[in-house]
Amino acid sequence: MRDFIYNAHPARVILASGALARLPEEVRRLGLERVMVLTTKEQRQSGDEVASLLGPACAALFPGAVMHTPVAVTEEAMRVVADRSIDGIVSLGGGSTIGLGKAIALRTDLPQIVVPTTYAGSEVTPIIGETQDGIKSTQTTSKVLPEVVIYDVDLTLGLPASLSATSGMNAIAHAVEALYAKDGNPIIDMMAVEGVRALAGSLPRIVVDMGDREARAAAQYGAWLCGTCLGAVGMSLHHKLCHTLGGTFDLPHAETHTIVLPHALQYNAPAVPGAMAALAGALDNADPARALYDLAGTLGAPRALRDLGMPESGIDRATDLALSNPYWNPRPLEREALRACIAAAWAGEPPARGA
Ligand code: NAD
Strands 127-132 and 135-140: antiparallel
Give pLDDT tens digits for 295-309.
Answer: 999 999 999 999 999
- Give the residues surrounding ligand 1 with Cβ less than 6 Å away: 40, 42-43, 67-68, 93-97, 99, 117-118, 120-122, 125, 127-129, 155-156, 158-159, 163, 167, 230, 253-254
Tell me the CA–centroid distance for residue 137 and ligand 1, in Å.
18
> What pLDDT digit, counting tens, does each position of 112-159 carry?
999 999 999 999 999 999 999 878 889 999 999 999 999 999 999 999
Bridge partners (DSSP) of residue 91 are 38, 114
pLDDT on residue 353: 72
Mean pLDDT of 175-191: 97
pLDDT > 90? residue 83: yes
334 CA to centre of ligand 1 in angstroms: 33
Query: Tens digit of pLDDT for each residue in 219-255?
Result: 999 999 999 999 999 999 999 999 999 989 999 999 9
Kindly indicate the confidence band of residue 80, based on its pLDDT and cuts at 50, 70 and 90: very high
Which residue type does 284 have? D
Q: Which ligand 1 atom is at minimum distance from the Cα of 166?
A: 25
Distance 62 CA to ligand 1 centre (A): 16
Q: What is the DSSP string of 114-172?
A: EEE-SS--GGG-SEEEEEETTEEEEEE-GGGS-SEEEE-GGGGTTS-HHHHHHHHHHHH
* 3 CA distance to ligand 1 middle (Å): 36
| Residue 311 clears pLDDT 60, i.e. is over it | yes
Q: Which residues pair with 60 in a beta bridge?
A: 36
**How many angstroms is it from 168 CA to the middle of ligand 1?**
11
The CA distances from residue 75 to 71, 114, 279, in Å, are 6, 20, 42
Residue 204 has pLDDT above 60, yes or no: yes
Which of 106, 114, 117 gets mutated to test ligand 1 (max ligand atoms within 8 A of its CB)?
117
Distance between CA atoms of 126 and 132, rounded to whole angstroms?
20
Dump pLDDT digits (tens) for 312-334.
999 999 999 999 988 999 999 99
Rounded mean pLDDT of 14-24? Answer: 97
DSSP lists the bridge partners of residue 129 as 138
**How far apart are alpha carbons 14 and 324 in whole angstroms?**
42
What atom of ligand 1 comes closest to residue 68's alpha carbon?
32
Burial of 70 (0-12, 13-18, 19+ CB in 10 A): buried
pLDDT > 60? residue 355:
no
- Give the pLDDT confidence score for residue 247 in this predicted structure: 87
Which of ligand 1's atoms lies nearest the C-alpha of 138?
41
What is the reported pTM?
0.95
Higher pLDDT, 164 or 355: 164
Best mutation site among 43, 177, 242, 261 for ligand 1 pocket (most ligand atoms within 8 Å of CB): 43
Shortest-distance Cα residue to atom 20 of ligand 1 = 159
Spatial CA neighbour of 101 closest among 57, 149, 42: 149
Q: In the chain, how many H helices and how many E strands?
A: 13, 8
Q: Which atom of ligand 1 is nearest to the CA of 66?
A: 3
Distance CA(177)–CA(275), nearest Å, equals 9
Pocket test for ligand 1, best of 68, 118, 137, 213 (most atoms within 8 A of CB): 118
Residue 7 has a pLDDT of 87
Calpha distance 81→104 (Å, rounded): 9
